[in-house]
Amino acid sequence: MKSYEVNFDGLVGPTHNYGGLSYGNVASQSNSQQGSNPKEAALQGLAKMKALMDMGFQQGVLAPQERPDVAALRKLGFAGTDAQVIQLAAKQAMPLLVASCSASSMWVANAATVSPSADTADGRVHFTAANLNCKYHRSIEHPTTSRVLGAMFADQKHFAHHAALPAVAQFGDEGAANHTRFCRDYGQAGVEFFVFGRSAFDTRYPAPQKYPARQTLEASQAVARLHGLSEEGVVYAQQNPSVIDQGVFHNDVIAVGNGEVLFYHEDAFLETEKMLAELQGKLGRRGGNFQSICVPRAQVTVEDAVRSYLFNSQLLSRVDGSMLLIVPEECRGNERVWQYLQSLTSSGGLIREVKVFDLKQSMQNGGGPACLRLRVALNETELAAVNPGVIMTAPLYDTLTQWVGKHYRDRLCESDLADPQLLLECRTALDELTQILKLGAVYPFQIN
């Protein structure tokens, strides 16, 4: 039976704005308070989805969330009608209103960790929604994320869903941004690679000093247990604390993997040689041939990697076995990074081609191509069981493009977030989107 890696990209929400909410994310903080263009952001994301679909890759869509999150503001003591809640928050605690308006659910690499059926004990595809408890504006996402994923992957014969881990620092979980899977074929048993920034209970592991380590070892281990993964099918690795302190807030900012290949920066991990040997041994015992491409710091610095998002790329397998790297336009704008990529593709190695996409609206908030997609390995039977409304087609692309044009603003500033009309616009848009994507009642609001 044929198997695929399906990329489900997050659809940018109508309240996309630059709130500078993500401490430790250089791009997010450096572009704080700038005006954003939600319409352009959504169209840039859709253009990438359409391009990958046209290249023959399986592509899906993950819906955005209701923002501002009035229910979250009510839990913080703001009362009255929805409009009054928004206006009170704007007057008394504008940072909380900004956080409740964040469109960060667009970065669905943080939505969940996914293990394919070939790896799990019960032979189902397992999903664990990420608690994202390191940042308030993201910690409010997982209840809706779980409902959306449940509506997309509803058949319990093939799919299993787990609630987010306890929302405490010891079990900080940032989802697939710190998880990669290596395999000979997407339908064969593979090795799941969990990267953590710190240990919550074992002080022998070092930790960053400037920025927080968002993923804990204990969270990664808990997800592996929930998914029924075997010891032979899992490798844990620690991210280098010094690169976290340089703005590498997730592993997908410093490494990316696909198939049998890991593409990583020289400074990405601690105990790199030991980690590579374990990956090679475990994948070898599952019939694979693990290979790695190390980018030397002498050619590309960590600062270059963070500013260009070289590693926040999509590494995709072509039919002929060669690999394609999807990178943001910022890579072409960095001389050292672009020179490295040119030498990489001309060397005749594993990565034969680089394609560049303009994702500036997302990039300015700290999310590149890899942030925008959640990878789900599915066999033909499982793919047929996915809600067909979320699988990208040419007609769906046209419909979503028209939907964005109808509902999205082309300019959004912080002061606009205090306008109750923005909430109505978002709800109206999402009410229509649930019908387009056949999601059912995944949002708790009602349009009156």
Q: Distance between CA atoms of 65 and 381, rounded to whole angstroms?
A: 29
Catalytic residue among 5, 66, 174, 414, which? 174
Tell me which residue of 11, 3, 2, 4 sits closest to 396, measured CA to CA: 11
The pLDDT value given to residue 255: 98
Active site residue 353: no
List Cβ neighbours of 139 (8 Å cut-off, separation of 6 or more).
Answer: 131, 132, 133, 167
Catalytic residue among 101, 331, 371, 426, which? 371
The pLDDT value given to residue 264: 98
Alpha carbon 93 to its chain centroid, in Å, reads 29
Residue 354: which H helix or E strand, with range? strand 351-357
Catalytic residue among 16, 250, 265, 407, which? 250
Phi, psi of 228 (to 5 degrees): 70, 40
The pLDDT value given to residue 235: 98
8 Å CB contact between 406 and 41: no
Active site residue 382: no
Q: Distance between CA atoms of 79 and 70, rounded to whole angstroms?
A: 10
Secondary structure letter of residue 412 according to DSSP: B
Tell me which residue of 112, 109, 4, 111 sits closest to 58, measured CA to CA: 4
Residue type at position 248: V
Phi, psi of 269 (to 5 degrees): -125, 165
8 Å CB contact between 175 and 141: no
Q: Distance between CA atoms of 22 and 34, rounded to whole angstroms?
A: 15
The pLDDT value given to residue 30: 56
The per-residue DSSP string of 272-336 comes to: HHHHHHHHHHHHHTTT---EEEEE-TTTS-HHHHHHHTSSSSEEEE-TTS-EEEEEEHHHHTSHH
End-to-end CA distance of the chain: 47
Phi, psi of 32 (to 5 degrees): -55, 140
The pLDDT value given to residue 32: 52
Helices (H), 113-193: 136-139, 142-152
Q: Distance between CA atoms of 442 and 427, rounded to whole angstroms?
A: 12
Q: What is the pLDDT along the chain (448 residues), one digit of tens a residue?
A: 899 999 999 999 999 998 655 444 554 455 555 778 999 999 999 999 999 999 999 999 999 999 999 999 999 999 999 999 999 999 999 999 999 999 999 999 999 999 999 999 999 999 999 999 999 999 999 999 999 999 999 999 999 999 999 999 999 999 999 999 999 999 999 999 999 999 999 999 999 999 999 999 999 999 999 999 999 999 999 999 999 999 999 999 999 999 999 999 999 999 999 999 999 999 999 999 999 999 999 999 999 999 999 999 999 999 888 899 999 999 999 999 999 999 999 998 999 999 999 999 999 888 999 999 999 999 999 999 999 999 999 999 999 999 999 999 999 999 999 999 999 999 999 999 999 999 999 998 876 5
416 in helix, strand or coil?
helix
Secondary structure letter of residue 251 according to DSSP: G
The pLDDT value given to residue 365: 80
Count of C-beta atoms within a 10 Å radius of residue 264: 22
The pLDDT value given to residue 34: 74
Strand order, beta sheet including 373-379: 59-62, 3-10, 373-379
Strand order, beta sheet including 112-115: 112-115, 125-129, 159-162
Q: Distance between CA atoms of 448 and 446, rounded to whole angstroms?
A: 6
Structural tokens at position 157: 């014969």
**What is the domain partition of the chain in residue ranges?**
3-67+102-436
The pLDDT value given to residue 27: 47
Q: Distance between CA atoms of 96 and 72, rounded to whole angstroms?
A: 10
Active site residue 158: no
Domain 3-67+102-436 listed as CATH 3.40.50.2300: no
Q: Distance between CA atoms of 383 and 364, rounded to whole angstroms?
A: 34
7 in helix, strand or coil?
strand
